[in-house]
Amino acid sequence: MAVYRLCVTTGPYLKAGTLDNISATLVGTCGESPKQRLDRVGRDFASGSVSSLPLTGLGVQKYKVRCAAELGDILLLRLHKERFACFAKDSWYCSRIVVTAPDGTVVHFPCYQWVEGYCTVELRPGTAKTICQDSLPLLLDHRKRELQARQECYRWKIYAPGFPRMVDVSSFEEMESDKKFALTKTAPCADQDDNPGNRYLPCIPMKIDIPSLLHMEPNIRYSATKTISLLFNAIPASLGMKIRGLLDRKGSWKKLDDIRNIFWCHKTFTSGVWNLPEGDSFFGYQYLNGVNPVMLHCLSSLPSKLPVTSDMLAPLLGPSTCLQTELEKGNIFLADYWILAEAPVNCLNGRQQHVAAPLCLLWVNPQGTLLPLAIQLGQVPGPECPIFLPTDCEWDWLLAKTWVRNSEFLVHENNTHFLCTHLLCEAFSVATLRQLPLCHPVYKLLLPHTRYTLQVNTIARATLLNPDGLVDKVTSIGRRGLIYLMRTGLAHFTYTDFCLPDSLRARGVMHIPNYHYRDDGLKIWSAIERFVSEIVSYYYRSDAAVQQDSELQAWVGEIFTQAFLGRESSGFPSRLCSPGELVKYLSAIIFNCSAQHAAVNSGQHDFGAWMPNAPSSMRQPPPQTKGTTTMKSYLDTLPEVNVTCNNLLLFWLVSQEPKDQRPLGTYPDEHFTEEAPRQSIAAFQNCLAQISRDIRERNQSLALPYAYLDPPLIENSVSI
């Protein structure tokens, strides 16, 4: 008789325990155990419990699986979940199971999954294996069946032509009702205007696509803690504005001070500097350390579409230099909003809105401060498209800068933030779930960086991107414009843009002083790269090991076709040929899912709460002459009261990660069980802790501390 001892951990989540019967079967190289019910006196599998346990000890019990003979090396653990008496079925969150063999060998089985309904789950020991490292037909077959099941559950959907593909939420509904469809479903569904589930709820000023929120597969759903925390962030702020009538009031703001007082308790630094002389340096500062720090390109000559002359800039540059000298020194930069030139425009509160496609020229002065030099609000120069200068009258210059801030809002929210972090990370998540089995080292590495991304994007699609959702209610381009911008953005997005060091070099911004996003981002990039490189070199010893990993290649290929629509000119790889290429690719994915999202997401309230710094819409066309702007015309150009407040609610909500956070580098789910990767994780955590200490020390001497890339404040994944 051989006795195997099992220690089963149920997750600490609400309703993680189950009343269903759980049995186990062990499969080894020398045979299979009988199916053994895991049952003890009292309640098994309660939430948060580690049920490990000798039959005799007080409160501590042990499950035993008895076999006629030893099973050899344990290959699989089958968990059977079946009906118990007349109780209705309930879900079980199984964290992990540790099996101790009769000879004392300990085998870990990471699970970290919700197990739903009555079913059998087959787990492999935690040692990560690529397909090339498996030879037993039983294990190869197991990999294949696991992926087939996942591909049935997580399917791709086309949201709009030219968009990265995303998860098809309706497939979860089909799974539950046990309907099985083809593995990939790609029905276009951008036009949901006639979707009867998209409707207004009492007191909520935009439509919500209710059905898409209802069916979320439990392994990708927000935890109860996260959902409740999101609601706790939303409800008081929303009620406060509702009671004060701000969410329903149409018309212009009467004075700037009223905008300053929208938030009583959550004021930010931006309103203080806006219309002071320091406003220009703050305007420049945001290109480096604001929510959209990816716009600047160094110029060696001016583009012909921006006919700024040396004379125009002479009063600004001073007597000791000139435009040509500054171009030669690499001190002149351009932010070009060309992508907005053809964007469709929306109506808000029944009135036509307006969009500009500015060009903003900036200079790093001898003190190292980045300052705006000139703003042209359209892409085609001419008498009706004046070049605004800091030497113009105060209101003209302020309005020109506000137009640029409106363009920043549109490009940042739609492209830098939603497209390049939320949507791309969703595609990485879906490809990872569909193409890599649980035992694959890349699955173990990436899964924590996909946590909650499908859920938050589903919420965004149901509340923001849906017809008459928030984007249609607050932005000058609406969802039609959003679809246009994202499609155009994806068509121009490259692998260089995706990899921080390459992107910074290509934009020629390595030498700008006080670029904290760059400095902190590069440190985090290197820490991620070192960690990933250790993991990759442990599992892939040669180029051939990468090239022959058919699962890995299918995963890269699927990302290339589904996220980047197979566009060769994007520079994204469609296959990987060496460990070095794999390290770069994985580092970029982890960086963008974590640090990049934090950099472009967490400051939305800080920088946007002062609405003129991030107006979501403009109500008058860009000025065609100078000298006509007044305080009144300025206020009549900014968004109306209800538009402002609905947008600020969103900023408030998404700038705070709801509870149940997992900061960068924290992996409480122990998918890796071998010593080497666990040591790499510990080294990664130490490295991030040092980066955090350095950032905090640097921040002490800054008038405006930059904390968005402080590692403990970065989430592992896009989860808000």
Ligand X SMILES: CCCCC/C=C\C/C=C\C=C\[C@@H](C/C=C\CCCC(=O)O)OO
Binding region for Ca(2+): 17, 39, 90
> Quick check: 113 binds Fe ion (CB under 5 A)?
no
d(CA 341, CA 360): 14
SS3 content of the chain, % helix, strand, coil (to 5): 45, 15, 40
Could you tell me how many residues of this chain bind Fe ion (CB under 5 A)? 1
User: 475 is in the binding site of which of Fe ion, ligand X, none (Cβ under 5 to 8 A by kind)?
Assistant: ligand X
User: 101 is in the binding site of which of Fe ion, ligand X, none (Cβ under 5 to 8 A by kind)?
Assistant: none
CB of 694 to ligand X, least distance (A): 27
* Candidates 78-86, 277-285, 594-602, 671-679; binding stretch for Fe ion (CB under 5 A): 594-602
Q: Can you read off the two tokens belonging to residue 135?
A: 């030879």
Pick between residue 427 and residue 482 the one whose CB is nearest to ligand X: 482
Q: What is the 3-class SS of 201-267, one letter each residue?
A: CCCCCCCEEHHHHHCCCHHHCCCHHHHHHHHHHHHHHHHHHHHCCCCCCCCCCCCHHHHHCCCCCCC
CB of 518 to Fe ion, least distance (A): 21
Pick between residue 421 and residue 533 the one whose CB is nearest to ligand X: 421
Burial class (CB in 10 A: 0-12, 13-18, 19+), 705: middle
CB of 439 to ligand X, least distance (A): 32
Pick between residue 16 and residue 474 the one whose CB is nearest to ligand X: 474
Ramachandran area for residue 59 (φ above 0: left; ψ -120 to 50: alpha; else beta): left
Pick from 304, 244, 184, 187: nearest CA to 558:
184
User: 459 is in the binding site of which of Fe ion, ligand X, none (Cβ under 5 to 8 A by kind)?
Assistant: ligand X
Pick between residue 365 and residue 458 the one whose CB is nearest to ligand X: 458
Evaluate whether 205 touches 645 at the Cβ level (below 8 Å): no
Pick between residue 33 and residue 655 the one whose CB is nearest to Fe ion: 655
Pick between residue 8 and residue 486 the one whose CB is nearest to ligand X: 486
User: 464 is in the binding site of which of ligand X, Fe ion, none (Cβ under 5 to 8 A by kind)?
Assistant: ligand X
Element (H, E) at 501: helix 500-507
Q: What is the 3-class SS of 143-189, one letter each residue?
A: HHHHHHHHHHHCCEECCCCCCCCEECCHHHHHHHCCCCCCCCCCCCC
User: 600 is in the binding site of which of Fe ion, ligand X, none (Cβ under 5 to 8 A by kind)?
Assistant: none
> Quick check: 533 binds Fe ion (CB under 5 A)?
no
User: 404 is in the binding site of which of ligand X, Fe ion, none (Cβ under 5 to 8 A by kind)?
Assistant: none
User: 432 is in the binding site of which of Fe ion, ligand X, none (Cβ under 5 to 8 A by kind)?
Assistant: none
| Chain contacts with ligand X (rule: CB under 6 A) | 413-414, 417-418, 422, 456, 459-460, 463-464, 470-471, 474-475, 482, 601, 616, 646, 649-650, 653-654, 720
Pick from 362, 361, 298: nearest CA to 330:
298
User: 427 is in the binding site of which of Fe ion, ligand X, none (Cβ under 5 to 8 A by kind)?
Assistant: none
How many C-beta atoms lie closer than 10 Å to residue 537's C-beta?
15
Residues 377-416 binding Fe ion (CB under 5 A) are: none
d(CA 79, CA 443): 21
Give how far Cα 111 sits from Cα of 77, 79, 96, 140, 444, Å.
11, 11, 5, 19, 11
Evaluate whether 301 touches 333 at the Cβ level (below 8 Å): no
CB of 646 to ligand X, least distance (A): 6
Token match 């800091």: residue? 390
Binding site for Fe cation, by residue number, is 417, 422, 597, 720
Sign, CA torsion 189/193/195/200: positive
User: 166 is in the binding site of which of Fe ion, ligand X, none (Cβ under 5 to 8 A by kind)?
Assistant: none
d(CA 640, CA 645): 9
CB of 390 to ligand X, least distance (A): 29
CB of 151 to ligand X, least distance (A): 27
- Strands in 387-388's sheet, in edge-to-edge order, are 297-298, 332-336, 359-364, 370-376, 387-388
> Quick check: 376 binds Fe ion (CB under 5 A)?
no
User: 570 is in the binding site of which of ligand X, Fe ion, none (Cβ under 5 to 8 A by kind)?
Assistant: none
Which ranges in 592-711 belong to alpha helices (H)?
A: 597-601, 604-608, 631-637, 641-654, 675-700
User: 649 is in the binding site of which of Fe ion, ligand X, none (Cβ under 5 to 8 A by kind)?
Assistant: ligand X
Residues 50-79 binding Fe ion (CB under 5 A) are: none
Pick from 195, 130, 129, 693: nearest CA to 469:
195
Binding site, by residue number, is 17, 39, 90, 417, 422, 597, 720
> Quick check: 647 binds Fe ion (CB under 5 A)?
no
d(CA 72, CA 370): 68
User: 405 is in the binding site of which of Fe ion, ligand X, none (Cβ under 5 to 8 A by kind)?
Assistant: none
CB of 238 to ligand X, least distance (A): 7
Phi, psi of 470 (to 5 degrees): -60, -40
* Candidates 73-81, 309-317, 596-604, 637-645; binding stretch for Fe ion (CB under 5 A): 596-604
Q: Can you read off the two tokens belonging to residue 662?
A: 């997992």
d(CA 560, CA 572): 7
CB of 260 to ligand X, least distance (A): 21
CB of 628 to Fe ion, least distance (A): 38
Binding marks (x or -) toward Fe ion, 187..226, rule CB under 5 A? ----------------------------------------
Pick between residue 119 and residue 239 the one whose CB is nearest to ligand X: 239
Pick between residue 65 and residue 470 the one whose CB is nearest to ligand X: 470
Pick between residue 283 and residue 651 the one whose CB is nearest to Fe ion: 651
Pick between residue 365 and residue 601 the one whose CB is nearest to ligand X: 601
How many C-beta atoms lie closer than 10 Å to residue 499's C-beta?
20
Sign, CA torsion 256/264/405/709: positive
Burial class (CB in 10 A: 0-12, 13-18, 19+), 313: buried
Pick between residue 471 and residue 611 the one whose CB is nearest to ligand X: 471
Sign, CA torsion 704/709/715/720: positive
User: 430 is in the binding site of which of ligand X, Fe ion, none (Cβ under 5 to 8 A by kind)?
Assistant: none
CB of 720 to Fe ion, least distance (A): 6
Token match 């801030």: residue? 405
CB of 82 to ligand X, least distance (A): 38
Q: Count CA atoms within 13 Å of residue 297 on its CB side.
A: 12
Binding marks (x or -) toward Fe ion, 598..637, rule CB under 5 A? ---x------------------------------------
Pick between residue 356 and residue 471 the one whose CB is nearest to ligand X: 471
CB of 595 to Fe ion, least distance (A): 13
d(CA 94, CA 121): 11
Element (H, E) at 81: strand 74-82
**Residue with CB nearest Fe ion?**
601
Pick between residue 280 and residue 413 the one whose CB is nearest to ligand X: 413
Query: In DSSP terms, which residues pair with 198 in a beta bridge?
Result: 209
Pick between residue 80 and residue 207 the one whose CB is nearest to ligand X: 207
CB of 246 to ligand X, least distance (A): 12
User: 139 is in the binding site of which of Fe ion, ligand X, none (Cβ under 5 to 8 A by kind)?
Assistant: none
CB of 186 to ligand X, least distance (A): 23
**Site residues for Fe ion per CB under 5 A:** 601
